[in-house]
Structure formats: structure tokens, C-alpha cells
Chains A and B, each alone.
Chain A
Amino acid sequence: MGEITRYINPTVVAHIAFVLVVALTVVGALIAVLLKNIVYNVFGLATALVGIAGLFIFLGSEFLAVMEILIYVGAICIAIVFAIMLSQPMHLRIPPRWRPKVVFSLIVAAVVFVSFSVIITRTPWEAHLIRTHDWSIKRLGHLLLTNYELMFELISLVLLLAIVGSIITAAAVGGARHSGGPTGGKEEGGP
């Protein structure tokens, strides 16, 4: 019985799995930020999101993990790649980085990092004595429509805004194309 447990400790296996998943997330995120080819960036992002899904599995929340892959990798990353492929030819020279943009994003990232660190360190984390295992879809649905109804509505609002925004953008481009000829729409729709 104990022959293998002498060499392999389940805790060690768990730690290795954790380190692997975190490495996937961090490396993916670095690829997403540092490389200059935008297609590589998106695939880095997808890698990072798969890593985050792994973290959710590690925390015992299979539903969130599957949703992470379904929505973020399966839908959002694909939408991004699709937008890239429709927007500019890939063989063109990649433009150099715009210095102020890098600085701004560094500032934003720093602010986010500091605020999250403060929140994490100030929250009095306490371990629950009994861990509930009831994270079925039904329970999550009930919670979304009762305790977390405000969040739920806010998310729907954000999605609605995105849809309305995209329709307005598309209508503006289409309208300009109809009135100003083929070139008018192109200028309007440019970045």
C-alpha cells in the first residue's frame, strides 16, 4: 500500500500541478503583452485563459473553469482574431510601439495591481470550517437571481451597451459608404 506514497506525496503532486497552471497563466500573459505580432498576442491570451481555467479547476469549481474556456477562449479570443484578420493585412510591417501608450498602460497596470494587492491584503480571509460542495448549476442559477442580482443586471447592461455600440459603428460605416461612395466608408471605418 504505502510503497508509492513513500516516493510520491499527494501534496507535492498538487503543488506541481499548481505551479504548472500558474506558469501557463504567467507565460501566456507575458506572450500576450510583450510580443509584437498581434496574432501571437491573442494566442498568448488564450494560453493565459486556459491557465486561469486550470486555476478554477484547482479551486474545485469545474463550472467556472468550463465557462472560462467556453466564453473567453472559445468566443472572445476567436472574435479578437477574427477582427484582426478582417482589419489589416498581416504581411504589412508591424508599426513601432507608441511610447506614451506604453507608459499609460504601465500606469493603468500599476494602479490595478496596487488596488488588487490592497484588497487582497486587507480582506480578512478566514477558512470555512465546513466547505459546501453544492456548486451545482441550479444553485448557481438561484444565487445569480437572488444574492447577486445586481451584478447579473450590470453584466447584462454592459453586454447591451456592447451590442448597441457595435450596431452604431456598423451603421455609421454602412451609412457613410452608401452616401459617400466606396471610399467614404473606408475612411470612416479606419482606426
Chain B
Amino acid sequence: MQGVSDYMSGLGQAVAGFLGPDILALVLGLVLVLLFIQVNAMFLVWAERKVAAHIQLRIGPKEVGPFGLLQTIVDGVKLVAKELITPQPVSWLLFVLGPVLVFAPVMVPFVVLPFGPNLQVRDLNVGLLLIFSLGGLNVLAILLGGWASNNKYALLGAIRSVAQNVAYEIPLLLSAMSVVILAGTFSMQGIVEAQEGVWFIFYQPVAGLLYLIGAIAETNRAPFDIPEAESELVAGFHTEYSGMRFALFFLAEYTNMFIVASVATTLFFGGWRGPVADGPWWFLLKVYLLIFGVMWVRWTYPRLRFDQLMNFAWKYMIPIALVNLLLTGLVMKLVGAA
């Protein structure tokens, strides 16, 4: 036994010595992130069902585990056990790649999310841009899956998703840029540090609202869920997917929700800062409160029609975001605190 533990500690030291504590933190961080993604998605699916149920005066899942907490695990087992159906006329490689490529980009943003003052895998000076650039990859993957399915509902859903994401990514980026001008950095940790005292939501209420609206649209959730509108398109871009492939789309959607809420927390609500005892608990509390708000919106408002959605983005949100950005730059120049 002694030999084994000696060997293990020696191996650990060798790995740490060769790779450096930095790489060790990266590997540990990745393992934790993978675990966290699963647990978070399971919790969010359960929370969504509970929130929806209570808003509709029902009880929701209650049989499996206390308060039905284990319901999602049971559902997950069911999904894993189901057959992976591949319809005949799909273009096979892209069809299989679709869910993988949807899921892969949602893991990477966790590298730069600042959970706490020291709880961050790596603080890149382009952290915020990294998150937004991976959002673009997600859209491409949805398009790929929808097109490869060779199904009219899937293709329509994919096209809607892309049109919507292209429209809403612009006000999203512009509103984030107003915060970047205030903070003077793209680093997530730097943005949190710049909010010592006052959260940016008080300086940038318009940008905060635009960001939240854009974020709901980016995650394809009601009232912006036209890419997967059940009543029109069956299930939209993932109509043809079954079993674990479908579950990957699901997992990616809920992880995306967590990511956009964390970015909102970082940009506008002071990240891990709280009234007392700064730390990751404040970060998680704010993130889950925001997600609760997003769920509330979903079960309160009806779905927008496609032209209303487009009009809203191009004719209202983008001009407002541009004016807000210009005003922010102007005020910063006048105040001279750059």
C-alpha cells in the first residue's frame, strides 16, 4: 500500500513539475466543469418543471426522490437507453456530428467564467470575446444538425434559429461592449473587479435589459423559441434526433442558459461580489436567480411571430444599443475616467 501511495504522490509531483500548477489547474478545472455541466443541467430541468408547474397551479414532479429531485436522473437513464435512430435520407456524418458540435462549444466558456476571486480556470484577457465567439459556433452546429436531418421541419427550425441568432447577437455584443468601455477590459475577472462598490446595472440599465432580452433569444427560449416552436415545427432543428443525441441538444441548451446568466452576472450584477463575504456563493445565487427570471418569462409570455421578432431586433434593439454605446463612450470621454 505504502509503495502505491508513494508512487501516486511521486507521479502527482512529476505531473505537477512537468506540466506546472497551471496545467494541473486546467485539468482539474475541466473535470469539475464536465461534472458541473451534468449536475447543473439536471437541476435546471427539474427546476424548470417545478417552476412551470407552480406557475400553472400544478405540483410538478414529486414521485422520484424528495420533491421529485431525482426525476431528471431517471429521465436521463431513459434517454441513454433509447435507440439512436438515424433516418435513411440524412447525410450521415453531419447528422452524427451535429449534436457533438452543439455540445462541444458550451464547455469551453467555463474556462473563463469567474466563479470567485480565485475560482477561475484561467483569466484570459479576451475572456468575454471567447464566450461570444463560441456562441457563433453553436449556431453553426444547429444549422448543421438541422440541414443534415433532411427534414423540412428541422431545416425550417435551423434557418429560423440562424436568422434569430444573427439578429440578436448584434445587440447582445453591443450592450456587452458598453460594459467593456466602462471596465476597460475584456477579462471577466477584470470586469468583476471594476464593479467594486457599484454594479454596472446601475450605470447601464438599458444595456442590461438589452443583454437579458438578447440572451433569452440566444438560448432559443420562449418568447423567442420559434426555432423549436412545438405547435408549428414539431421540435424544430432536433426533430429527427432521438436518445442521447437529443439529450445532447437538451444538455447544451441548459448549459447555455447557465453561461448567458453567468455572463449577465459578471457584466451587470457584480459577479462574485456581495454585500458581505464575497465569494462563489454570491455568483451562483445571482446566476440561479437570473435563470429563475428567464423561466418565469418563458411561462408567462406567448411566442412571438417571426416578423415581430425580426422587427424588434433590427428596428428597436440594435438602434437603442448603438445609441447607448455612443452615449457611454461620450460620457466616458467627458468624465475622463478611462
- Point out residues on A near B: beta carbons under 8 Å: 1-5, 8, 10, 37, 39-40, 43, 46, 62-63, 66-67, 69-70, 73-75, 77-79, 81-82, 85, 90, 136-138
**Main SS at interface, chain B:** helix
Please tell me if B154 contacts chain A, counting CB pairs below 8 Å: no
Given the contacts A66-B130, A81-B162, A82-B162, A137 and B125 also touching, CB distance less than 8 Å: yes
**Please, which residues of chain A bring their CB within 8 A of the CB of B144?**
43
Which residues of chain B are near A81, meaning CB under 8 Å? 140, 143, 147, 162
Cross-chain contact A1 with B13 (CB below 8 angstroms): yes
B213 on the interface (CB 8 Å rule)? no
Whether, in the assembled complex, B14 has its beta carbon less than 8 Å from a beta carbon of chain A, the answer is: yes
User: What residue in chain B is nearest A75 (Cβ atoms)?
Assistant: B136
Residues of B within 8 A of A136 (CB): 125
Contact of A85 among B11, B126, B132, B147 (CB under 8 A): B147
Enumerate 5 A-B pairs (CB-CB under 8 Å) in ascending A order.
A1-B14, A5-B18, A43-B144, A62-B124, A78-B143
Contact call B126/A62, Cβ cutoff below 8 A: yes
Interface size on B, residues (CB 8 A): 34
B248 within 8 A of A: no
Question: Out of A5, A39, A63, which one reaches B129, CB within 8 Å?
Answer: A63
Nearest residue (CB) in A for B166 is: A78
CA gap between A90 and B147 in the complex, in Å: 9
Which of B11, B17, B18, B129 interacts with A70 by CB under 8 Å? B129
Contact at A85–B10, with CB atoms within 8 Å? no
A73 pairs with B14, CB closer than 8 A: no
Q: Which residue of B lies closest to A53 (CB)?
A: B133
Any A CB within 8 A of the CB of B71: no
Residues in chain B within 8 A of chain A (CB atoms): 10-11, 13-15, 17-18, 91, 94, 124-126, 129-130, 132-137, 139-140, 143-144, 147, 155, 159, 162-163, 166, 169, 184-186
* A74–B155 CB distance below 8 A: no
Give the docked Cα–Cα distance between A72 and B193 (Å): 31
A55 to B139 alpha-carbon distance, docked (Å): 23
Neighbouring A residues of B18 by C-beta, 8 Å: 1, 4-5, 8, 10
- Of A39, A63, A66, chain B has the most CB atoms within 10 Å of the CB of A66
Q: Which residues on B sit within 8 Å (CB–CB) of A138? A: 184
Are B129 and A66 interface neighbours, CB within 8 A? yes
Among B133, B169, B185, max chain A CB count under 10 A is at B133
A73 contacts B10, C-beta separation under 8 Å: no
Docked CA distance A85–B81 (Å)? 35
Cα A2 to Cα B136 in complex, Å, equals 42
Interface centre among A3, A43, A63, A79 (most CB of B within 10 A): A43
Complex contact A66–B159 (CB within 8 A): no
Name the residue on A nearest B158 (C-beta): A85
Q: A70 contacts which chain B residues (CB < 8 A)?
A: 129, 132-133, 136
Greatest chain B CB density within 10 A among A1, A4, A46, A70 is at A70
Residue of B nearest to A64 (CB): B126
Q: With A and B bound together, what is the CA distance between A10 and B23 in angstroms?
A: 13
Whether A137 contacts B140 by the Cβ 8 Å rule is no
User: A10 vs B166: C-alpha distance in the bound complex, in angstroms?
Assistant: 41
State A67–B166 Cα separation when bound (angstroms): 16
Decide if A82 touches B11 in the complex (CB within 8 Å).
Answer: no
Contacts A82-B162, A137-B186; is A66 near B126 (CB within 8 Å)?
yes
Task: Find out whether the CB atom of B140 lies under 8 angstroms from the CB atom of A78.
Answer: yes
- A128 to chain B minimum Cβ distance, whole angstroms, is 21
Minimum CB distance partner of B17 in chain A: A1
Q: Is the CB of A66 within 8 A of B14?
A: no
Min Cβ gap A141→B in Å is 11
A55 CB → nearest B CB, Å: 16
| Chain A: CB-nearest residue to B124 | A62
| Closest residue on chain B to residue A90 by CB atoms | B147
Given contacts A8-B18, A74-B136, contact A63 B162 (CB under 8 A): no
Residue of A5, A69, A77 ringed by the most chain B CB atoms within 10 A: A69
Distance in Å from the Cβ of B299 to the closest Cβ of chain A?
A: 30
Q: Are A85's CB and B155's CB within 8 A?
A: yes
A63→B130 CA distance, assembly (Å): 9
Contact for B140 among A66, A74, A90, CB less than 8 A: A74
Q: Which B residues touch A82, using CB under 8 A? A: 159, 162-163, 166
What's the minimum C-beta distance from A56 to chain B, rounded to whole angstroms? 11
For B136, list chain A residues within 8 Å (CB): 69-70, 73-75, 78
A43, A66, A77, A137: the one contacting B133 at CB < 8 Å is A66
B266 CB → nearest A CB, Å:
17
Contact of B137 among A62, A63, A69 (CB under 8 A): A69
